[in-house]
């Protein structure tokens, strides 16, 4: 009998306590609200500072971007990728370090490396990408990176890269016409040699 | 207007009562019974018996009909949708029932009923309550004991033998 | 609407339908529904006589008692029906005829 | 005479059901509402983790471990790198170890928050779930600040970390802990002692000590059954032997030892203990130290095998790695804690009502990614 | 309505045991000590109230004191039933008796039934019994008395059958119940006769009605005899006495409470209450029934070996005394004897219970479950082992045997004197005093026989004697108290004359003149009794002494061999031992014949009527005329007699198929039948 | 009452064709139309408040919008409207193996139950559609219709979850009608009338004349009634019939579109009715809490609705606080806690009335 009433008492008191807690949340609604009004408000990207000389160093994992002008076609990123979403094809440049105007190939990277290969295809399938960031580390020219990476000022952070067409998520970084241009050049060259 | 409504209710009652006994799907019968009970409750209101109508709503619809539906659910393979049943001696029974109706109707129409016209009572609840507590105290107590007995009996019947 | 006979006729129809149901249905619960119809018919007569026949509120009392009776009856009947179902795995009343002999 | 026995019914709970925490299918036999047998069917989330690992290099396995227990990726990374470092005999510096411990404990808090919140949700209390998620978001913010990802971090590498922690991380973590501690009390007050929740979970789904041990159940589930077993204490890895913390066990405070309530409450106490560890680790963390110091240039472990186990929020996580000397692992086997927790479900869940089974399932805190792998 | 404080007291006394009953039934199992303290508490309160009432009665000392209160219970227009209380001196004394014995029983039972599985229920039933007994005592009208009468029957049924696992107990309870029903039929008929004449149930109205002659003559006699039949049932008078000895299957405290002191006294109480409406004819019936019962039961008691059976038949005998006293008009004496008898007989039962209890334990120690612990042939020599029981039982035995200085002497003396004076007035009824004195002689004999067999002499089962020991305090307490109450001193209070019945009692319960015209006046008898008093006293002392001496000679001195005597007395001994074959005779002449009646009738039909009459007649006529005989045989016998049977057989076989066992078919037939009837009716 | 009032009004307005049956039909339909309008508006309001209160309790903002169009109005005010529109234009699926007639009948039955109960709810001294003698009794009686509708919905869906939900809700509602009824019996004993208006009239004269303050037992009675009301409307912690973590959505699992919307609306309508009954029976109905203050008919509507909404708010508040009970605990609570205490209250109040009142 005592248990019966003490059970009723605990039930009433604990439920009343819980209701008091929820009531405080209701009353102090203005203070505690955690929601962001998405289209109007965006998620604040944390400004990351790891103490390097670059003032802000963002490691935000967003979509991949390749600076084609710097890519030397070393295939390190392709090998690092655990899911094989990067596909690179290269062609040997006629001359190391020379610009080839026809295919908009720049011969020297910003780091000053002379390029021996022309990248004819650099495709990243973002539907397969697992955002592990592994491809960015081996790159000797730091030309592949997640947007918002070290060159964050050039590339704004964005995570709204949904596309109506699935094939639009295959990013083709090789400059348009490179492949055909290189084929033409190589054909001409072989013809000349022949 | 009220006349039309009366006949509407009466026909609802009778038709759904026919559904109750003629339909072969048990659950449809039960739902038809619901409408019959509703109709009878409506007729009670025409008979100035608002309290009885309320009791009819509460006990019949809220209690007995639900109980019947529960009974149907508990005594059938409920995961199959069709809860049908079959009839026996339909022809003979139909004839007998019809005859019964005819004879009762004859009796009703032939009998010169003693009728009085009384005024509509303002509220029946208080009077019914007073009657229950005075004149009909014994039946009232008896019926409550009966109810208690039925309760215990039903509980006992459906209890697991240990 | 203000005629006693109307109500008596409705009650008579309900009664015969109820009797028909009781006589013909094989399913125990369906039989029970027939019984409910009969009780309702009786009740309707009580209330009708209560208004027209000078029974005044006594008819109401009887109506109440009948309703309570119906409730008790339904409870017990369903308990029995469920028992029959548990024992015989059917509630067809014509198959529950062990008391025949 | 007899009570009404409902016909035996076979219910499929899931694979799409609000209470299965993922794509789990439970085939449940019920008599009325009483469950007589539970058969879990798994594999809806099977991703061939182990087979996959035999085809990628050692460092490429780490992103896959993330995806096993997606609610405690840090701990999964941690287990793998501990195993690899044992295999390659790498000793990492103190700063790395401290950061790893902080991350793992933060992850434990996040995971337990989700578990307790979802347990409430399973029992019908919606609000505490959202409060728990709100606080979990703060932890995910800290992770994002650290490594840029909110869920799948790939943060711990063999021999180090992918990044050092950013400037201000320690301060913001302390700030978070100060904010967080009263919230745990609030969570406990609204949920743990609520009479209805106690009624729903106390004495329900009791997992006795011997059952838990014979089924190989680990982690909070085992501790709730009254076994003081925590790898951080019993088989210390990393630097856990340097910190002071208690290992809470179920005491049967509201019912029997090893009931749902105990499993639930042990997690709440563990949150508090984790907070303690984080405070100690942050305070004693060396200011200097290169997180890439012992990072091997090329991961090519010697021929041999290793089995290493760590304590994740769900229990003992074991990695068995066999190397044939090539840069690609010969075999990676993962012993996942939630798998054993799920296997005990039929043992402790049969005989209860349907609602209780879902409460028991919620209290076991399973993650399908790890079970199916 | 309830202006007098006694009404409040009575209300409490009536309903407290009922409250205890309800509590015991619903919560008994859960209360500490299974709740016996609830019952004991309730009953103690009633005892205190009863004593209070008693003391106030003594202080007021008003012989005409009477208060009454009633209310309408059932209002059915012209027919209404009132319930109410009538409190007068008789009621107060009865209440005291009931409360006192009931309290003693409750206390006694705590030990006697210790460890019983239905302990709390037992106390609950005791409460119910006390409630209903008080109800009888307090009733102011026949109807409510009848109700409580039946309630007493129910609760005695429950209590006798307390150990219903034993077949004998279950049968005894049924027997008691059914036998009582027989008497109650008469009671009910009597009530209805009176009601139909007087139109009221209340005693006062009935008495007024009788006085004013509304009901008189044969009707009144019949009503009186009818009411007395109820008393016969309850007080177990011949020939309805058979249930009481069997009722000893119940727990011994129950026997003490109901079958010695209270329930069986209800019959006497009823007779006393309705005394004014008993006509001389009815009284004569009463007197003869009582007198015969007294001597008849005493003669059975002489030979019984079961200690409780002896007491039971002694009870029947003593009740016969009381009824005899009522019949001869000295109802004061009857009531006085009721009072004293309640005390000493309850005590005797307690004592026997104590002995049985001790025997039972002793047998239990020896793991002997075969020996009957109630059989006196297994006892003997308990005197030193159970001194308290022995001495108090001895006091009560003295009282019942009519030894001077004990209560029984006073009351018995009064009865005998009344009987004697009645016989003096009406010499044709000389048998009545003979019954009285004969019974007194036998009582003295068999009571001391019981004492000697139980407590004196050599132990018959020496292996038990070490385990025999005095019962605990809860049991000896009531024994001592009631033993003390067997002394004369309490009953002759203001005068202290051990030889005279003149005490507070006689003045309080003065006999009122019967209201029936032509009845012999109670006062007249009283006068006569005074004259016959000394004669009666001497005879009774002589008779008692003779009985005791005879007993002493037989069982202590062994001067007279009991076996020889029994052998010599032949069938008389056997008859007595077998209770005059009453049960067997009932069985043989009433139950079995009824059962066999159908067989007999059938037999008569076939064997006598058919074979000898029809066929014989046929043969006779055949002998006279073959044609007539053939006609007779073919037409009468085959066609009409057998043919009827065959046709009904045939019809039965045909109609058997109608009985399908399906209710719905029956409904159909019924409906069809109704329709056919209605159609026929309309033509 | 209102019907007569409108009928008289129409007759006076058009004396030429007075007494026309057509007027009577209008007089009957008008209140019904008003009622439907009220339920719709009330539905929007209560759904909005449910969303908002739950959001604030959970530290969210709930639906917010900066203007009409995409964002559901200012502060999300148009969210319920948008929800409603969505539900009504959604495809209405009837499962192939369902029992079609009953599947269609069930939502209407429950809606009829909710709607017909409204006509006995008093909003003011004259503002009540039908002032019945047995008003409070009538509402309890009509409320039991929901049970049948729920069983039908659960059964006819031919889905195990739905069946479980239907049976559970039926058992639950039937059981909790008893403590609710017992609590109302106490009120009826005090007011000695079944008429809603007379019950309110009994509580005339300010806050402390309300039945809830009538004697020390009444708060307990009120709490029992209110919790039973929660159970009868299938609200948390008694939302077992539609408990989403167990039974997916209970008896409405297979319902979609308009039919689902009707179930949804009926639940909220039942909440209003039961809160209105509670307000009437315990909190003085449409009477102002202060004697002779704001006690005009217009204010009476305000008081009634604000009391009702306060109770609805408490229901919402409770819903977002507590977990859900289990079936046997639910029954335990009803039969072993509420009914004994309720019966005790009946006796206690009866004694109180005789001894003190």
Contact residues of C toward E, CB < 8 A: 19, 22-25, 31, 93-94, 97-101
Instruction: Using a CB–CB cutoff of 8 Å, tell me whether A17 touches chain F.
Output: no
Name which of D1, D4, D7 is nearest B161 (Cβ-Cβ). Answer: D1
Instruction: Using a CB–CB cutoff of 8 Å, tell me whether D124 touches chain F.
Output: yes
- Across the interface, whether the CB atoms of E671 and B96 are under 8 A apart is answered yes
Task: Give domain status of residue F178, yes or no.
Answer: yes
Number of domains in chain B: 2
- Across the interface, whether the CB atoms of B160 and D4 are under 8 A apart is answered no
Give the model's pLDDT for residue A141. Answer: 77
Out of A71-80, E100-109, E241-250, F220-229, give the one with best mean pLDDT.
F220-229
Residue range A69-96: average pLDDT? Answer: 82
Task: Give domain status of residue F109, yes or no.
Answer: yes
Give the H or E element holding residue E86: strand E79-88
Give the H or E element holding residue E664: helix E663-682
Name which of C19, C94, C97 is nearest E671 (Cβ-Cβ). Answer: C19
Q: Which residues of B touch F164 (CB under 8 A)?
A: none
Residues B76 and B132 in one domain: no
Give the model's pLDDT for residue F100. Answer: 83
Establish whether chain A is in contact with chain C, requiring a minimum of 3 CB pairs below 8 angstroms. Answer: no
Name which of B77, B78, B158 is nearest D3 (Cβ-Cβ). Answer: B158
Q: Between chain C and chain E, how many beta carbons pairs sit less than 8 Å apart? A: 26
Residue of D nearest to F332 (CA): D199
Phi and psi at residue E521, to the nearest 5°:
-70, 140
- Across the interface, whether the CB atoms of F58 and D131 are under 8 A apart is answered yes
Instruction: Using a CB–CB cutoff of 8 Å, tell me whether D118 touches chain F.
Output: no
Residues E546 and E468 in one domain: yes
Residue A153 has pLDDT above 60, yes or no: no
Q: Which residues of C touch E663 (CB under 8 A)?
A: 93
The sign of the torsion formed by the CA atoms of A84, A88, A89, A91 equals negative
Residues B71 and B3 in one domain: yes
Distance of CA F8 to the CA centre of its chain: 31
Residue B84 has pLDDT above 70, yes or no: no
DSSP E377: G
CA distance A131 to chain D (A): 8
Establish whether chain D is in contact with chain C, requiring a minimum of 3 CB pairs below 8 angstroms. Answer: yes
- Across the interface, whether the CB atoms of B49 and C51 are under 8 A apart is answered yes
ipTM score for this prediction: 0.61
> Which is higher by pLDDT, E335 or D220?
D220
CATH of D53-328, one of 3.40.50.720, 3.90.1010.10, 1.10.645.10, 1.20.1250.20: 1.10.645.10
CA distance B70 to chain F (A): 8
Instruction: Using a CB–CB cutoff of 8 Å, tell me whether B98 touches chain E.
Output: no
Contact residues of D toward B, CB < 8 A: 1-4, 6-7, 9
Name which of B88, B100, B138 is nearest E671 (Cβ-Cβ). Answer: B100
Q: Is C98 exposed, middle or buried (0-12, 13-18, 19+ CB in 10 A)?
A: exposed
Q: Tell me the two tokens of residue E677.
A: 């009837």
Residue of B nearest to D3 (CA): B160
Distance CA F285, CA D104 (A): 59
Residues B10 and B78 in one domain: yes
CA distance F21 to chain D (A): 53
Last residue of a domain, one of B86, B107, B130: B86
Kindly report the CATH number assigned to the domain that includes residue B3: 1.20.120.1200
Q: Between chain B and chain D, how many beta carbons pairs sit less than 8 Å apart? A: 17
Distance CA D176, CA D169 (A): 10
Residue E520 has pLDDT above 60, yes or no: no
DSSP secondary structure string, chain C? ---HHHHHHHHHHHHHHHHHHHHHB-BHHHHHHHHHHHHHHHHHHHHHHHHHSS-TTHHHHHHHHHHHHHHHHHHHHHHHHHHHHHHHS--BTTT--TT--
Q: What is the pLDDT along chain D (373 residues), one digit of tens a residue?
A: 234 455 677 888 878 787 777 788 888 888 767 888 888 888 888 888 888 888 888 888 888 888 888 888 888 888 899 888 888 888 888 888 888 899 999 999 999 998 888 888 888 888 888 888 888 888 888 888 888 788 888 888 888 888 778 878 888 898 889 888 888 888 888 888 888 888 888 888 888 888 888 888 888 888 888 888 888 888 888 888 888 888 888 887 888 888 888 888 899 999 998 998 998 888 888 887 777 778 887 888 888 888 988 888 888 888 999 888 888 888 888 888 888 888 888 888 888 888 888 888 888 888 888 888 8
Number of domains in chain E: 3
Instruction: Using a CB–CB cutoff of 8 Å, tell me whether B94 touches chain E.
Output: no
Q: Which residues of B touch C83 (CB under 8 A)?
A: 157-158
Instruction: Using a CB–CB cutoff of 8 Å, tell me whether A156 touches chain F.
Output: no
Number of domains in chain C: 1
CA distance F106 to chain D (A): 24
Distance CA D87, CA D79 (A): 12
Name which of B77, B158, B161 is nearest D4 (Cβ-Cβ). Answer: B158
Q: F304, F341 in Cβ contact below 8 A?
A: no
Task: Give domain status of residue F240, yes or no.
Answer: yes
Residues B1 and B79 in one domain: yes
Question: Which of E243, E254, E260, E227 lies closest to E128, judged by CA?
Answer: E254
Q: Which residues of A touch D152 (CB under 8 A)?
A: 130-132
Residue E515, helix vs strand vs coil = coil
Residue range C42-54: average pLDDT? Answer: 84
Distance CA B60, CA B44 (A): 13
Residue E71, helix vs strand vs coil = strand
pLDDT per residue as tens digits for the range E441-471? 888 888 888 888 888 777 777 776 777 777 7
Residues E137 and E79 in one domain: yes
Question: Which of E120, E109, E107 lies closest to E31, judged by CA?
Answer: E120
Residues 6+ apart with CB under 8 A from F43: F80, F84, F265, F268, F269
Last residue of a domain, one of E577, E603, E630: E577
Kindly report the CATH number assigned to the domain that includes residue C45: 1.10.287.3510
Residue of E nearest to C92 (CA): E662
Instruction: Using a CB–CB cutoff of 8 Å, tell me whether B96 touches chain E.
Output: yes
Question: Directed axis angle between helix E331-365 and helix E89-112, to 10°?
Answer: 0
Question: Which of F245, F232, F239 lies closest to F114, judged by CA?
Answer: F232
Q: Identify the domain containing residue C71 by its residue range.
A: 4-88
Task: Give domain status of residue F14, yes or no.
Answer: no
Q: E238, E293 in Cβ contact below 8 A?
A: yes
Phi and psi at residue A192, to the nearest 5°:
-60, -45
Helices (H), D90-238: 94-122, 127-147, 169-187, 195-201, 209-214, 219-224, 231-234
Give the model's pLDDT for residue D1. Answer: 29
Residues B15 and B82 in one domain: yes
Geometric angle at alpha carbon E286, from E281 and E288, rounded to 5°: 95
Q: Identify the domain containing residue B35 by its residue range.
A: 1-86
Residue range E620-644: average pLDDT? Answer: 76
Q: Between chain C and chain D, how many beta carbons pairs sit less than 8 Å apart? A: 8
Question: Which of C18, B68, B20 lies closest to F148, judged by CA?
Answer: B68
Q: Which of A13, A29, A38, A39 to mutate to test the interface with F (most CBs of F within 10 A)?
A: A29
Q: A63, A160 in Cβ contact below 8 A?
A: no
Task: Give domain status of residue C95, yes or no.
Answer: no
- Across the interface, whether the CB atoms of F321 and D124 are under 8 A apart is answered no
Could you tell me the pTM of the whole model?
0.64
Residue of B nearest to E668 (CA): B93
Give the model's pLDDT for residue A152. Answer: 47
Residue E355 has pLDDT above 50, yes or no: yes
Give the H or E element holding residue D316: strand D315-323
Number of domains in chain F: 1
Q: Which residues of C touch B115 (CB under 8 A)?
A: 4, 52-53
Which neighbouring-strand residues pair with D315? D312
Out of E203-217, E477-491, E598-612, F341-355, give the one with best mean pLDDT.
F341-355
pLDDT per residue as tens digits for the range E98-154? 888 888 888 888 878 777 778 888 888 888 888 888 888 888 888 888 888 888 888
CA distances from E472 to E109, E112, E213, E480 (A): 11, 9, 58, 12
Q: Identify the domain containing residue F293 by its residue range.
A: 90-355
Residues 6+ apart with CB under 8 A from E301: E309, E310, E313, E314, E317, E442, E443, E446
CA distance F225 to chain B (A): 18
Strands (DSSP E) along E535-584, which ranges?
Answer: none
Give the model's pLDDT for residue D162. Answer: 81
Count Cβ neighbours within 10 Å for each residue of B67-94 and write b for 16 or more, e otherwise: bbbbbbbbbbebeebebebebbbeeebb
Give the model's pLDDT for residue B78. Answer: 56
Q: Which of D60, D135, D142, D148 to mutate to test the interface with A (most CBs of A within 10 A)?
A: D148
Residues E82 and E15 in one domain: yes
Q: Tell me the two tokens of residue D289.
A: 């130290």
Task: Give domain status of residue C76, yes or no.
Answer: yes
D14 Rama sector, left if φ>0, alpha if ψ -120 to 50, beta otherwise? left
Residue A22 has pLDDT above 80, yes or no: yes
Residues E167 and E265 in one domain: yes
Give the H or E element holding residue D323: strand D315-323
Phi and psi at residue A48, to the nearest 5°:
-110, 130
Q: Which residues of D touch C83 (CB under 8 A)?
A: 1-2
Residues B74 and B31 in one domain: yes
- Across the interface, whether the CB atoms of D33 and F54 are under 8 A apart is answered no
Name which of C23, C93, C99 is nearest E668 (Cβ-Cβ). Answer: C23
Is the peptide bond preceding residue F237 cis, with omega within 30 degrees of 0?
A: yes
Q: Which residues of C touch D4 (CB under 8 A)?
A: 82, 86
CA distance B91 to chain F (A): 29
Q: Which residues of chain F have pLDDT under 70?
A: 1-2, 18-20, 66-73, 244, 357
Mean pLDDT, chain B, rounded, equals 81
Q: Identify the domain containing residue E610 by its residue range.
A: 584-674
CA distance A126 to chain F (A): 30
């Amino acid at each position: 009998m005592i248990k019966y009433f003490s059970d009723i008492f605990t039930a009433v008191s604990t439920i009343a306590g819980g209701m008091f807690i929820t009531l405080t949340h209701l009353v102090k609604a203005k203070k505690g609200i955690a929601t962001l009004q998405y289209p109007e408000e965006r998620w604040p990207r944390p400004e990351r500072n790891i103490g390097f000389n670059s003032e802000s160093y963002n490691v935000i994992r967003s979509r991949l971007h390749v600076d084609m002008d710097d890519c030397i076609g070393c295939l390190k990123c392709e090998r690092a990728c655990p899911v094989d979403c990067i596909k690179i094809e290269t062609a040997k440049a006629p001359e190391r370090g020379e610009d080839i105007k026809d295919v908009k190939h720049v011969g020297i990277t910003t780091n000053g490396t002379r390029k021996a290969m022309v990248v004819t295809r650099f495709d990243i399938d973002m539907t397969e990408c697992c955002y592990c960031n592994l491809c960015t580390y081996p790159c000797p020219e730091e030309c592949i990176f997640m947007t918002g990476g070290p060159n964050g000022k050039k590339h704004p952070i964005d995570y709204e890269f949904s596309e109506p067409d699935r094939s639009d998520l295959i990013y083709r970084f090789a400059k348009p016409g490179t492949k055909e241009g290189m084929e033409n050049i190589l054909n001409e060259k072989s013809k000349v040699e022949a | 207007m009220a006349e039309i409504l009366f006949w509407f209710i009466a026909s609802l009652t009778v038709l759904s009562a026919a559904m109750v006994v003629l339909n072969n799907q048990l659950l449809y019968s039960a739902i038809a019974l619901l409408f019959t009970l509703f109709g009878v409750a409506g007729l009670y209101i025409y008979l100035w018996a608002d309290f009885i109508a309320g009791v009819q709503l509460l006990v019949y619809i809220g209690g007995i009909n639900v109980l019947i539906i529960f009974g149907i659910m508990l005594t059938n393979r409920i995961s199959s949708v069709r809860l049908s049943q079959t009839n026996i001696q339909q022809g003979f029974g139909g004839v007998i029932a019809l005859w019964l109706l005819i004879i009762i109707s004859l009796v009703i129409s032939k009998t010169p009923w003693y009728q009085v016209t009384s005024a509509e009572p303002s509220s029946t609840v208080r009077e019914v309550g007073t009657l229950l507590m005075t004149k009909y105290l014994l039946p009232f107590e008896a019926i409550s004991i009966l109810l208690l007995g039925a309760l215990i009996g039903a509980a006992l019947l459906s209890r697991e033998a240990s | 609407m203000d005629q006693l006979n109307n109500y008596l006729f409705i009650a008579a129809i309900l009664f015969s339908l109820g009797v028909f149901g009781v006589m013909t249905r094989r399913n125990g619960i369906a039989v029970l529904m027939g019984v409910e119809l009969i009780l309702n018919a009786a009740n309707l007569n009580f209330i009708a006589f209560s208004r027209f026949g000078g029974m005044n509120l006594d008819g109401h009392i009887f109506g109440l008692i009948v309703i309570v009776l119906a409730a008790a009856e339904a409870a017990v009947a369903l308990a029995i029906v469920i028992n029959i179902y548990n024992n015989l795995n059917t509630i067809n009343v014509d198959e529950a005829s062990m008391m025949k002999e | 005479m007899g009570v009404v026995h409902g016909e035996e019914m076979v219910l499929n709970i899931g694979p799409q059901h609000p209470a299965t925490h993922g794509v789990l299918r439970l085939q449940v036999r019920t008599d009325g509402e009483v469950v007589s047998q539970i058969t879990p069917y798994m594999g809806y989330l099977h991703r061939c983790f182990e087979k996959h690992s035999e085809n990628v290099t050692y460092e490429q396995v780490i992103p896959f471990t993330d995806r096993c227990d997606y609610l405690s990726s840090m701990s999964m990374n941690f287990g793998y790198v501990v195993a690899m470092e044992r295999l390659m005999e790498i000793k990492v510096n103190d700063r790395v170890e401290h950061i790893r411990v902080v991350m793992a404990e933060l992850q434990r808090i996040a995971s337990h928050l989700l578990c307790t919140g979802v347990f409430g949700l399973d029992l019908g209390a919606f609000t505490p779930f959202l409060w728990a998620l709100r606080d979990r978001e703060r932890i995910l913010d800290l992770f994002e600040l650290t490594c840029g990802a909110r869920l799948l971090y790939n943060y711990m590498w063999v021999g180090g970390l992918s990044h050092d922690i950013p400037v201000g991380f320690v301060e913001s973590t302390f700030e978070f802990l100060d904010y967080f501690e009263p919230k745990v009390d609030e969570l406990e007050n609204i949920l743990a002692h609520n009479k209805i929740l106690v009624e729903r979970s106390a004495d329900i789904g009791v997992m006795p000590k011997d059952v838990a041990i014979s089924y190989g159940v680990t982690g909070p589930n085992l501790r709730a059954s009254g076994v003081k077993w925590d790898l951080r204490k019993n088989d210390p890895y990393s630097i856990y032997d340097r910190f002071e913390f208690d290992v809470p066990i179920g005491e049967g405070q509201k019912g029997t030892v090893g009931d749902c309530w105990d499993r639930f409450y042990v997690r709440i106490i563990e949150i508090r203990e984790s907070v303690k560890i984080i405070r100690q680790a942050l305070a004693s963390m060396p200011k200097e130290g290169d997180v890439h110091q012992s990072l091997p240039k090329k991961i090519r472990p010697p021929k041999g095998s290793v089995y290493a186990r760590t304590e994740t929020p769900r229990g003992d996580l074991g990695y068995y790695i066999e190397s044939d000397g090539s840069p690609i692992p010969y075999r990676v086997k993962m012993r996942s804690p939630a798998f054993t927790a799920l296997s005990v479900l039929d043992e402790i869940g049969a005989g209860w009502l349907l609602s209780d089974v879902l409460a028991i399932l919620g209290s076991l805190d399973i993650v399908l990614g790890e079970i199916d792998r | 309505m309830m202006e007098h404080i006694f009404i409040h007291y009575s209300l409490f006394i009536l309903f407290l045991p009922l409250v205890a009953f309800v509590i015991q039934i619903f919560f008994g199992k859960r209360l500490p000590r299974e709740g016996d303290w609830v019952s004991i508490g309730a009953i103690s309160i009633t005892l205190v109230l009863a004593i209070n009432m008693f003391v106030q009665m003594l202080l007021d000392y008003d012989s005409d004191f009477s208060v009454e209160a009633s209310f309408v219970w059932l209002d059915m227009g012209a027919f209404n039933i009132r319930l109410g209380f009538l409190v007068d001196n008789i009621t107060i004394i009865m209440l005291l008796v009931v409360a006192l014995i009931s309290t003693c029983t409750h206390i006694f039972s705590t030990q006697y039934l210790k460890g019983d599985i239905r302990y709390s229920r037992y106390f609950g039933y005791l409460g119910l019994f006390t409630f209903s007994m008080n109800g009888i005592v307090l009733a102011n009208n026949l109807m409510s008395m009848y109700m409580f009468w039946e309630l007493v029957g129910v609760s005695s049924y429950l209590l006798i059958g307390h150990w219903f696992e034993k077949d004998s107990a279950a049968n005894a309870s049924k027997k008691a119940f059914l036998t009582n029903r027989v008497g109650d039929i008469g009671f009910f008929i009597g009530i209805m006769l009176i009601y139909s004449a007087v139109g009221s149930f209340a005693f006062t109205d009935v008495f007024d009605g009788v006085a004013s002659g509304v009901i008189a003559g044969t009707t009144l006699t019949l009503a009186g005899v009818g009411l007395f039949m109820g008393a016969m049932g309850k007080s177990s008078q011949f020939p309805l006495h058979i249930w009481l000895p069997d009722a000893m299957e119940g727990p011994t405290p129950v026997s003490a409470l109901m079958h010695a002191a209270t329930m069986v006294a209800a019959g006497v109480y009823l007779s006393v209450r309705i005394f004014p409406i008993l006509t001389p004819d009815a009284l004569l019936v009463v007197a003869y029934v009582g007198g015969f019962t007294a001597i008849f039961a005493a003669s059975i008691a002489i030979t019984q070996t079961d200690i409780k059976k002896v007491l039971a038949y002694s009870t029947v005998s003593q009740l016969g005394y009381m009824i005899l006293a009522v019949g001869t008009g000295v109802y004061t004496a009857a009531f006085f004897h009721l009072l004293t008898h309640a005390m000493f007989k309850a005590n005797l039962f307690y004592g026997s219970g104590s002995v049985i209890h001790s025997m039972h334990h002793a047998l239990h120690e020896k793991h002997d479950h075969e020996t009957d612990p109630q059989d006196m042939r297994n006892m003997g020599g308990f005197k030193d082992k159970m001194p308290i029981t022995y001495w108090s039982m001895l006091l009560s035995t003295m009282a019942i045997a009519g030894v001077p200085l004990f209560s029984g002497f006073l009351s018995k003396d009064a009865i005998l004197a009344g009987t004697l004076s009645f016989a003096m007035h009406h010499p044709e009824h000389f048998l009545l005093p003979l019954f009285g004195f004969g019974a007194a002689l036998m009582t003295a004999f068999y009571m001391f026989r019981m004492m000697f067999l139980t407590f004196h002499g050599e132990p018959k089962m020496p292996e038990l004697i070490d385990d025999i020991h005095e019962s605990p305090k809860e049991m000896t307490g009531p024994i001592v108290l009631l033993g003390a109450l067997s002394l004369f001193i309490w009953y002759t209070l203001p005068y202290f004359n051990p030889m005279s019945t003149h005490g507070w009692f006689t003045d309080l319960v003065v006999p009122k003149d019967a209201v029936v015209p032509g009845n012999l006046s109670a006062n007249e008898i009283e006068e006569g009794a005074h004259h016959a008093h000394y004669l009666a006293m001497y005879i009774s002392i002589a008779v008692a002494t003779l009985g005791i001496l005879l007993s002493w000679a037989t069982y202590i001195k062994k001067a007279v061999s009991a076996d020889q005597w029994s052998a010599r007395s032949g069938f008389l001994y056997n008859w007595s031992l077998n209770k005059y074959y009453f049960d067997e005779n009932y069985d043989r002449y009433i139950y079995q014949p009824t059962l066999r009646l159908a067989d007999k009738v059938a037999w008569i039909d076939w064997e006598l009527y058919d074979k000898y009459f029809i066929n014989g007649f046929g043969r006779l006529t055949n002998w006279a005329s073959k044609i007539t005989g053939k006609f007779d045989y073919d037409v009468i016998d085959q066609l009409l007699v057998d043919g009827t049977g065959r046709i009904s057989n045939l019809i039965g076989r045909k109609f058997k198929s109608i009985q399908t066992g399906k209710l719905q078919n029956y409904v159909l037939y019924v409906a069809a039948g109704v329709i056919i009837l209605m159609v026929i009716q309309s033509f | 009452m209102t019907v007569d009032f409108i009928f008289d009004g129409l007759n006076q307005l058009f004396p030429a064709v007075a007494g026309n049956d057509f007027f009577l039909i209008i007089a009957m339909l008008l209140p019904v139309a008003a009622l439907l309008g009220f339920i719709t508006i009330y539905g929007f309001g209560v759904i909005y408040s449910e969303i908002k209160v739950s959001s604030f309790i959970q530290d969210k903002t709930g639906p917010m919008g900066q203007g009409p169009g995409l964002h559901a109005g200012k502060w999300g005010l148009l969210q319920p409207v948008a929800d409603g529109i969505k539900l009504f234009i959604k495809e209405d699926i009837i499962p192939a193996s369902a029992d079609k007639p009953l599947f269609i009948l069930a939502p209407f039955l429950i809606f009829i139950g909710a709607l017909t109960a409204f006509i006995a709810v008093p909003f003011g001294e004259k503002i009540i559609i039908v002032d019945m003698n047995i008003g409070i009794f009538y509402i309890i009686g009509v409320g039991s219709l929901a049970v049948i509708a729920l069983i039908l919905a659960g059964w006819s869906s031919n889905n195990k979850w739905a069946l479980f939900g239907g049976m559970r809700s039926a058992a639950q509602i039937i059981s909790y009608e008893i403590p609710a009824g017992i609590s109302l019996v106490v009120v009826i004993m005090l007011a000695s009338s079944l008429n809603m208006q007379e019950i309110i009239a009994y509580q005339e004269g300010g806050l402390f004349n309300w039945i809830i303050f009538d004697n020390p037992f009444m708060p307990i009675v009120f709490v029992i009634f209110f919790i039973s009301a929660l159970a009868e409307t299938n609200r948390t912690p008694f939302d077992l019939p539609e408990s989403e973590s167990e039974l997916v959505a209970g008896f409405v699992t297979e319902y979609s579109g308009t039919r689902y919307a009707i179930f949804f609306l009926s639940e909220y309508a039942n909440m209003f009715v039961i809160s209105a009954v509670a307000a009437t029976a315990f909190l003085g109905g449409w009477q102002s809490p202060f004697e002779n203050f704001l006690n005009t008919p217009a204010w009476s509507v305000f008081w009634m609705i604000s009391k009702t909404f306060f109770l609805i708010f408490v229901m919402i508040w409770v819903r977002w606080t507590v977990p859900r009970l289990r079936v046997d605990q639910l029954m335990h609570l009803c039969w072993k806690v509420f009914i004994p205490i309720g019966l005790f209250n009946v006796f206690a109040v009866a004694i109180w009335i005789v001894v003190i009142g």
